[in-house]
Structure 1
Amino acid sequence: MDRKRVTGPELSVQPIFRNSTTPKDILTENNQRLDDRAFDDLRPIFMKTGLVTQANGSTYIEMGNTKVVCAIWTAAVEKVGFSPHGTLNCEFKFATFSCAKRRGHMRDAQEREFSHTLIQALTPAVRLELIPKSAVDIYVNVLENDGTNACLAAAIIASSVALADAGIEMMDQVTACSAVFSRDSILMDGTAIEEKQQDGSLMLSYMPSLNEITHILQSGKLDTDNISKAMEQCIDGCSKIYSVMSSALLESLR
Structure 2
Amino acid sequence: MATNAMDRRRINGPQRTVEPIYSKDTDPFASGRKDSRSLDQVRPIYMKTGPLSTQANDLSASSAAAASGSAFYEQGNIRVSCAVYGPRQGRKSNTRMGSFDCDFRYAPFSCSWKKRSHVRGADEKEISLMLEHAIAPAIRLDAYPKACIDAFVTVIESDGKSATIAAAINCISAALVDAGIEMYDSVAACSMGLWESQWVADCSQAEENVSSSTMIIAYMPSADEVTYMLQHGKTSPDQTDQAVQTCINMCTRVYAVLCRGLQASISE
TM-score normalised by length of structure 2: 0.83
For 1:103-122, what aligned pairs fall within 5 Å after superposition? 103-122=116-135
- The 3 A distance-change label for structure 1 pair 75 and 174 is closer
Partner of 1:238: 251
> Is the partner of 1:210 in helix, strand or coil?
coil
User: Is the Cα–Cα contact under 8 Å of residues 202 and 216 in structure 1 kept in the other structure?
Assistant: yes
Partner of 2:223: 210
> For the residues of structure 1 that align with 2:121 and 2:42, how far apart are their CA atoms?
29
Cα deviations across residues 230-249 of structure 1 (Å, max 9, x unaligned)? Answer: 11111111111111111121
> Is the partner of 1:34 in helix, strand or coil?
coil
- The 3 A distance-change label for structure 1 pair 80 and 119 is closer
Of the candidates 22, 25, 28, which is equivalent to residue 27 of structure 2? 25
Q: Give the Å deviation of 1:39.
A: 0.7
> Is the partner of 2:137 in helix, strand or coil?
coil
- 101-110 or 228-237, larger mean C-alpha shift: 101-110
**What is the RMSD computed on CA atoms of the aligned residues?**
1.4
> For the residues of structure 1 that align with 2:259 and 2:139, how far apart are their CA atoms?
17
- The 3 A distance-change label for structure 1 pair 44 and 78 is closer
Q: Does 1:73 align with 2:85?
A: yes
> For the residues of structure 2 that align with 1:64 and 1:211, how far apart are their CA atoms?
27
Q: Give the Å deviation of 1:250.
A: 1.1
> Is the partner of 1:123 in helix, strand or coil?
helix
> For the residues of structure 2 that align with 1:235 and 1:76, how far apart are their CA atoms?
33
Partner of 2:51: 51
Stretches of structure 2 that go unaligned for 5 or more consecutive residues are 1-22, 57-65
Of the candidates 175, 178, 181, which is equivalent to residue 194 of structure 2? 181
Partner of 2:39: 39
Aligned-partner residue type, residue 49 of structure 2: T
User: Is the Cα–Cα contact under 8 Å of residues 190 and 216 in structure 2 kept in the other structure?
Assistant: yes
> Is the partner of 1:124 in helix, strand or coil?
helix
> For the residues of structure 2 that align with 1:79 and 1:230, how far apart are their CA atoms?
39
Cα deviations across residues 178-204 of structure 1 (Å, max 9, x unaligned)? Answer: 001111111100000011111010000
Aligned-partner residue type, residue 210 of structure 1: A
- The 3 A distance-change label for structure 1 pair 37 and 84 is same
> Is the partner of 1:149 in helix, strand or coil?
helix
Stretches of structure 1 that go unaligned for 5 or more consecutive residues are 1-20
Aligned-partner residue type, residue 102 of structure 2: C
> Is the partner of 2:35 in helix, strand or coil?
coil
- Which 4+ runs in 1 deviate beyond 4 A? 78-81
Aligned-partner residue type, residue 93 of structure 1: R
Aligned-partner residue type, residue 46 of structure 2: F
User: Is the Cα–Cα contact under 8 Å of residues 43 and 75 in structure 2 kept in the other structure?
Assistant: yes
> Is the partner of 2:176 in helix, strand or coil?
helix
Q: Give the Å deviation of 1:168.
A: 0.4
Q: Does 1:61 align with 2:73?
A: yes
Count of paired positions? 232
> For the residues of structure 1 that align with 2:177 and 2:93, how far apart are their CA atoms?
29
Identity of counterpart residues, as a percentage?
Answer: 39
> Is the partner of 2:118 in helix, strand or coil?
coil
Q: Give the Å deviation of 1:141.
A: 0.3
Rg larger in structure: 2
User: Is the Cα–Cα contact under 8 Å of residues 28 and 34 in structure 1 kept in the other structure?
Assistant: no
Q: Does 1:84 align with 2:78?
A: no
- The 3 A distance-change label for structure 1 pair 83 and 189 is same
Cα deviations across residues 136-157 of structure 1 (Å, max 9, x unaligned)? Answer: 0100000001000011000000
Of the candidates 99, 103, 106, which is equivalent to residue 94 of structure 1? 106
